[in-house]
């Protein structure tokens, strides 16, 4: 190929490239270009999670790089503070003729040889929980107890992939904690019928 042919070849390539670059206002070379163009005028969303939170009492927490709201657990516990009844350590109360409390609590969380009441509760400090190493954990941060064994779920929860976000991803971010969906003493969620189901199918199964 002589010099003249080279010149002709590169001229054709240049013209083809020039023609292919011409596009209308709503056409883009790539998906990346489209995202960049669309995001220039993005002003954010006007939806707020506050209307979904309503009267729910919340607290702000920081876990790693994530800052969000969670329900205030203490205000949800009818019998809190525990020291209103537990005026003495549990061992001292065992021999006292008192009405049996917590009779309805059945621990079905892990093997009883591995887990019992004292795994999470401190008999000498009933207003707080305790970690496996004996560290004090506030009831409002009970999820830290769960994170000791359920670390992968905890990481997903922090990022918003596990559990229920209140108001979706609207700001300020608010999320339910482990105990809002799971009974801490019996965390397995039982199977159940959906809120709406085919009544005809139910009759057929009977």
pLDDT for the residue 162: 94
What token pair was written down for 112? 């009883």
Token pair recorded at residue 87: 């005026």
Average pLDDT score over residue span 6-19:
64
Lowest mean pLDDT among 15-24, 151-160, 163-172, 188-197: 15-24
129 vs 135: CA distance, rounded Å: 8
Q: How far is CA 101 from CA 85, 96, 108, 124, 187, in A?
A: 10, 12, 18, 17, 21
Question: pLDDT confidence of 103, banded at 50, 70, 90?
Answer: confident
pLDDT above 90 coverage of the chain, percent = 41
Alpha carbon distance 181, 194 (integer Å): 16
Neighbours of 191 (CB within 10 A): 5
Mean pLDDT of 81-106: 75
| pLDDT tens column, 121-174 | 988 899 999 999 999 999 999 999 999 999 999 999 999 999 999 988 888 999
The pLDDT of residue 43 is 67
Per-residue model confidence (pLDDT) at position 98: 62
Instruction: List all residues 6 or more positions away from 86 whose beta carbon is below 8 Å from its beta carbon.
Output: 93, 126
Per-residue pLDDT of 37-48, as tens digits, reads 877 776 666 788
- The pLDDT value recorded for residue 160 is 92
Question: Looking at residue 18, what is its pLDDT?
Answer: 55
Q: Can you give the pLDDT at residue 44?
A: 66
């Amino acid at each position: 190929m002589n010099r003249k042919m080279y010149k002709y070849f590169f001229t054709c390539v240049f013209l083809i490239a020039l023609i292919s670059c011409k596009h209308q206002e709503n056409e883009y070379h790539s998906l990346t270009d489209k995202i960049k163009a669309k995001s220039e005028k993005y002003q954010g969303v006007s939806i707020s999670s506050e209307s979904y939170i309503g009267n729910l009492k919340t607290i702000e927490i920081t876990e790693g790089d994530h800052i969000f709201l969670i329900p205030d657990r203490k205000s949800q516990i009818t019998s809190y503070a525990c020291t209103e009844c537990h005026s003495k350590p549990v061992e001292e109360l065992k021999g006292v003729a008192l009405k049996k409390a917590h009779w309805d609590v059945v621990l079905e969380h892990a093997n009883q040889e591995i887990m019992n009441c004292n795994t999470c509760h401190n008999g000498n400090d009933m207003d707080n929980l305790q970690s496996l190493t004996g560290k004090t954990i506030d009831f409002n941060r009970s999820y830290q107890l769960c994170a000791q064994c359920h670390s992968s779920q905890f990481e997903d929860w922090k990022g918003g992939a596990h559990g229920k976000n209140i108001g979706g991803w609207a700001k300020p971010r608010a999320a339910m904690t482990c105990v809002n969906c799971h009974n801490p003493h019996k965390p397995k969620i039982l199977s159940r019928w959906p809120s709406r189901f085919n009544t005809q199918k139910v009759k057929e199964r009977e």
